């Protein structure tokens, strides 16, 4: 009799546990062909989604290498925004994963709301199909919103939603700074909306647990880092939040020092020089020349980008302009070049005038460098060799045809001997 009673109690405990457990379900849809050709509703794997966008073109990425899914907009008919919404998933949402991308030069973000409230943190997207994860605890209408400030296409490859009939016991940590590429260190704060929950984190890519570092204040991310965080209360744990940070260091450098540096995708160099041999005005391919050497710039954009967005023309730069740029130490077929792509910092308005203490300055008539104010000047070849120097007029008639750099103090200009 006692055995039967114990068995009943055990069965009752199991039933009670089963009745209070959170049973998660997952909804998924992957785009294998073009679904939308205009705004409106479409049913994706049994769930109706409504599209609103200003895209002037709809297509599908058939490239097996990029494989980015349904296309919205194009360069000539871009989608500056996309909104996908549904109210057909009942339950508490704990996770939304959207695999999305943009065309080369994309500058866009993806954000999510559920029931009118923000769900997870807004994330910047790249030109590579990437799953972006949003974590939280909400129910109601799901809205996915893309905000695109670049005049190019957006793509959606897949959507995955995890939901259950009860809210999660512990909400995941909220990260104050979204993962991405930054030019300076970031102070990252973690919070949790679950009262009494403790947050633990790791910075080496390992999964966090109650034995990991306890969060007590802002975390300084000063180098490329993978942050993972979890919230724990009693015996309940939240989902793990992951953020990848790339911190780009910048060093002011001469071209000679840049050429001697090691290749790196994360170390940027600030270079100042004169544009020469401008090959391509769409992407911005040219030689950059200073008194110490010459380096090839493989593309220049107006702002920092993950790929060349063809904004060079908007800078209105021409050969002979003296500019400051930032880019990575890269190479092609063993030849050093500025990569990244490089991005524009400034145009130096008076680079051609070698300034002295008076208004008049040095000039070149094709054979002679005239130095009426007797400034101390040095003339360099493009490989950095000193070919002449002095504080009087300099005869260049015996020098080979080509480009030379003339320096007076901190002022530099280019001359061309024909």
Q: What is the mean pLDDT of the chain?
A: 86
Residues 6+ apart with CB under 8 A from 394: 368, 369, 371, 377, 379, 388
pLDDT at 211 over 90: yes
Question: What secondary structure letter does DSSP report for 7?
Answer: H
Model confidence band, residue 358 (pLDDT cutoffs 50, 70, 90): very low
Report the C-alpha gap between 137 and 193 in whole angstroms: 10
Q: pLDDT band at residue 8, thresholds of 50, 70 and 90?
A: very low
- Summarised one tens digit per residue, pLDDT across range 297-339 is 999 999 887 778 788 999 999 988 999 999 999 998 889 999 9
Residue 369 tokens, joined: 């460098």
Residue 360, pLDDT > 50, answer no
Higher pLDDT, 264 or 215: 215
* Average pLDDT for 99-117: 91
Instruction: Judge whether residue 146 has pLDDT over 60.
Output: yes
In terms of Cα–Cα distance, which of 83, 74, 34 is closest to 55? 74
**Average of per-residue pLDDT across 12-41:** 74
In order of 22, 23, 202, 291, the CA distances from 90 in angstroms are: 14, 13, 34, 67
**Structure confidence by residue, pLDDT tens digits, 30-63:** 999 999 999 999 999 999 999 999 999 999 998 8
Q: What pLDDT was estimated at residue 203?
A: 97
* Per-residue model confidence (pLDDT) at position 285: 95
- Token representation of residue 168: 């999660």
pLDDT number for residue 22? 52
């Amino acid at each position: 009799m006692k055995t039967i009673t114990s068995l009943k109690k055990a069965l009752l405990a199991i039933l009670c546990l089963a009745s209070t457990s959170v049973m998660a379900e997952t909804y998924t849809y992957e785009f294998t062909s073009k679904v939308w050709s205009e705004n409106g509703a479409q049913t994706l794997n049994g769930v109706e989604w409504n599209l609103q966008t200003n895209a002037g073109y709809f297509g599908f990425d058939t490239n097996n290498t990029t494989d980015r899914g349904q296309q919205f907009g194009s360069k000539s008919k871009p989608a500056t925004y996309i909104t996908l919404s549904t109210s057909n998933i009942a339950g508490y949402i704990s996770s939304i994963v959207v695999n999305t991308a943009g065309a080369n030069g994309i500058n866009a973000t993806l954000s999510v709301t559920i029931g009118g409230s923000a769900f997870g943190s807004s994330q910047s997207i790249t030109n590579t199909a990437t799953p972006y994860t949003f974590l939280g605890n909400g129910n109601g209408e799901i809205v996915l919103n893309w905000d695109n400030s670049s005049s190019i296409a957006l793509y959606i490859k897949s959507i995955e939603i995890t939901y259950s009939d009860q809210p999660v016991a512990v909400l995941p940590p909220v990260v104050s700074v979204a993962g991405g590429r930054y030019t300076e260190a970031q102070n990252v704060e973690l919070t949790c909306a679950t009262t009494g929950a403790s947050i633990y984190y790791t910075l080496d890519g390992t999964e966090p647990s109650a034995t990991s570092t306890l969060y007590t204040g802002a975390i300084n991310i000063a180098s490329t880092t993978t942050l993972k965080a979890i919230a724990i209360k009693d015996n309940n744990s939240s989902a793990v939040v992951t953020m990848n940070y790339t911190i780009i260091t910048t060093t002011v450098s001469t071209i000679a020092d840049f050429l001697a540096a090691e290749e790196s995708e994360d170390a940027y160099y600030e270079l100042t020089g004169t544009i020469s041999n401008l090959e391509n005005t769409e992407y911005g391919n040219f030689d950059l020349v200073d008194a110490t050497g010459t380096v090839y710039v493989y593309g220049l954009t107006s702002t920092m980008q993950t790929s060349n967005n063809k904004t060079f023309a908007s800078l209105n730069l021409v050969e002979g302009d003296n500019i400051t740029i930032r880019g990575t130490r890269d190479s092609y077929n063993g030849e050093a070049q500025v990569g990244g792509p490089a991005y524009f910092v400034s145009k130096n308005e008076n680079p051609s005038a070698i300034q002295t203490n008076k208004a008049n300055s040095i000039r070149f008539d094709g054979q002679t460098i005239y130095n009426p104010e007797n400034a101390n000047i040095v003339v360099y070849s493009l490989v950095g060799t000193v070919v002449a120097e002095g504080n009087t007029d300099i005869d260049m008639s015996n020098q080979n045809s080509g480009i030379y750099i003339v320096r007076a103090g901190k002022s530099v200009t280019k001359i061309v001997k024909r």
